[in-house]
Structure 1
């Protein structure tokens, strides 16, 4: 059976510090569990790390919150494409899970909506907090921010001049009110506009609220640019805020999109661990997620892993799970036709295993992949996982003590340009990012990795010998015998003889799990079994040093070339960069936007929007 990441697998006090270090800053939903696996609380966040961190501050918590935090044994998160999607998922989870620390009556009664009344000729457009079934009419929402909704309604009433008064006030007017005098209403109460003309304004406003008419944003962008050119920066900033609020209101609510039932299954693997995430969608709504960490062999492909998982997930155990009409997967599953036939027979209707999907289902699949990567990252950084691997590493290298500080070095450049070296640090809690360092390598022959390695090691450990730097218990070099020989020479020159020095070479096949380890002291070359926790830790450290070196190299290269964040993205030329900045008002707002929001910009296709989103969030 698949191994579930159940909260009860994490005994003892919740390790908030380690959890928060790896938590994403993207929007999403978090679920808190007690030590029995029972749900305590469900919440949403625009920034998951910032919001969850607020529960663990040292002072200023309300008594109820302190009681909640004292019971937390595990936290699970689901990343969403936007804050609105997080809000909708939070609502669904509160309804289905009924967590004791949530105010259950809050479900649909505290979020802001925009309400279009049911008046046959002259409907009103108003702000409402909470949705009801009385009176008919059309509801737009819910929305995460009441301020954005009120400001956007203000703009819509200015542009389309739609009434905002109550029905009783509307029926008893004999002359136009002040709203008509200030050009905010067309005075339908006294017949100053025909029902046909008014309905046309209503149609335009509804189209905007459904995200089908971005013309008003284009007008506001032009006004913002005109104000900026006239040096009226406060006015330009006001237009920018209006644009942001309007985009927030018309944001597509993809979590509540296409109808239908589906299980969306994603897979991520790294450092000898596989994570499979299942997102459960029923009636077009995301109801929740489940995470699994199955045991596997490195020789298995992702298609083989998913085939094995699906069979156990739907047919294993005493009770069978509900089988939806669609099972969405990121890669082709081995024996897919046979498995689909078996699932269809069990469900007594057609069930399809699909990978090549579009629209909302594609977004569900991308959301599942994002969650799988984040969940795997959190799992790898957990204190329990790191400690188990440290013990295995101590035994493998026959160290007298468990290492409490390990450093790993890697070199990165593009054909010799802008060479940088990375030093990443791991301790008993996993990655110690505050101690990560990047070194700009200078005055060497372009592309000479040996000289670069000599320079960075000399600079790092000369300071340590002089008493200025921290002393590691173990040093890894990402490279083969050549790089390791350079490291050994540097240690000999500096008189360092009591720090083990290990080279990590990719091996002949250059496949994960086939790495060769080289001991600098003895020159011995040895391989470690692919399922060894010690090897998984070494892979994690090596991959982190490689990632940090590449990201540092790219940042330095782009700065040297005076490139903006968007310039390195394929398919985004000067014109498209300009349109993106005009539409969103800056890089900061662009980073917050979902793929669908980016695709609304002139000249940006859905596929290009996905590329831009990935580039901005991978940096």
Structure 2
């Protein structure tokens, strides 16, 4: 949150008037109160649920004793809203994408056949970029081994060379840093690289892998949420994978995990930005 002067202050949106937002962008809440809300939210999502609820309950009683009934009522509403989250499942339930059971052997066999690989793909990388406003972008790569997430191979990237929102340039930088480093360390390259996006993202990463000399050593694919179409870099055509096949669902799992991991980093930086 930044301090607003008289000229930059604007009218709050509808969410403020229906009590779904405190209106920080319009200066409707003080910096100290906003920081306090962010601190409590951070504690709550980090698992300190009981501490936050006890703190709010104590504050509500203090406000009531001080005859500040409207403020006490607002605090009561916050308490009730947080307690209602129990009816929606725990935070851990939503920390990872929900995936239907996948026969990993069948999924890897599907990919081997569709990509004409000499053997089942053992290592699969998933890549995604996420924008934090016009001036900040981040990215992530997740690694799957034999169809299972290998979190020791997950990597986060703060985009350094791209100005503004340019997903193609962002995934290009991620690919160059990721695979340039693997080459410099003589580390194992993935059998499959999956980019979250469409043909434009695919072309951007293809150029990087070609320049690095590894385009012939790894199968490059893209998968966008729109229509869930898988494109292969070899011919820039849709890959022949039935929608309900284990191979298609495995790729969707990798794509969604890359997106989740990138978004998680995005949220970490956003929270840091708000608290500054």
TM range (shorter): 0.5 to 0.7
Distance 1:464 1:562, change over 3 A: same
Q: CA deviation at 1:562?
A: 3.0
- 2:189 aligns with 471
CA-to-aligned-CA distance 1:397-429 (integer Å, 9 cap, x gap): 232211111001111013323211110111115
1:528 to 241, 248, 253: 241
Please give the secondary structure, in 1, of the residue aligned with 2:136: strand
2:130 counterpart of 1:417: no
**Which runs of no fewer than 5 residues in structure 2 stay unpaired?**
1-46, 63-82
Is 2:201 the partner of 1:483?
yes
Q: Name the Cα RMSD after superposition.
A: 3.5
Number of positions where the alignment pairs a residue of Structure 1 with one of Structure 2: 204
Deviations 1:53-101 (CA, angstroms, capped at 9, x unpaired): xxxxxxxxxxxxxxxxxxxxxxxxxxxx9999xxxxxxxxxxxxxxxxx
Alignment match of 1:541 (pick from 251, 254, 267): 254
Instruction: Kindly name which structure, 1 or 2, has the bigger radius of gyration based on alpha carbons.
Output: 1
Query: For 1:505-584, what aligned pairs fall within 5 Å after superposition?
Result: 505-506=224-225, 510=226, 514-526=227-239, 528-562=241-275
Q: Distance in 2 between matches of 1:469 and 1:523?
A: 28
**Residue in structure 1 matched with residue 223 of structure 2 by the alignment:** 504
Q: Normalised by the size of structure 2, how large is the TM-score?
A: 0.63
**Do 2:104 and 2:246's aligned partners in 1 also have CA atoms closer than 8 Å?**
no
Change (3 A) 1:495 1:531: same
Instruction: Quote the offset at 1:372 in angstroms.
Output: 7.2
Distance of aligned partners of 1:558 and 1:387 in 2 relative to their CA distance in 1, 3 Å threshold: same
TM-score (norm 1): 0.30
Contact residue 418 and residue 557 of structure 1 kept, 8 A: no
SS in 1 for 2:103: helix
**Cα-to-partner distance string for 1:178-197 (whole Å, 9 max, x where unaligned):** xxxxxxxxxxxxxxxxxxxx
Q: CA separation in 1, counterparts of 2:243 and 2:150?
A: 25
Report the Cα distance in structure 1 between the residues aligned to 2:99 and 2:229, rounded to whole angstroms. Answer: 27
**Unaligned stretches of 5+ in structure 1?**
1-80, 85-210, 220-359, 564-619
CA deviation vs aligned residue, 1:343-368 (integer Å, no higher than 9, x gap)? xxxxxxxxxxxxxxxxx9x777534x
The alpha-carbon distance between structure 1 residues 375 and 521, as it changes in their structure 2 partners (threshold 3 A), is closer
Q: Which of residues 374, 388, 392 in structure 1 aligns to 2:110? A: 392
Please list the CA deviations of residues 568-607 of structure 1 after superposition, one character each: whole Å capped at 9, or x if unmatched: xxxxxxxxxxxxxxxxxxxxxxxxxxxxxxxxxxxxxxxx
**Larger relative contact order (Cα-Cα within 8 Å, sequence gap ≥ 6):** 2
The structure whose residues are more often helix, as a share, is 2
1:150 is matched with which residue?
none
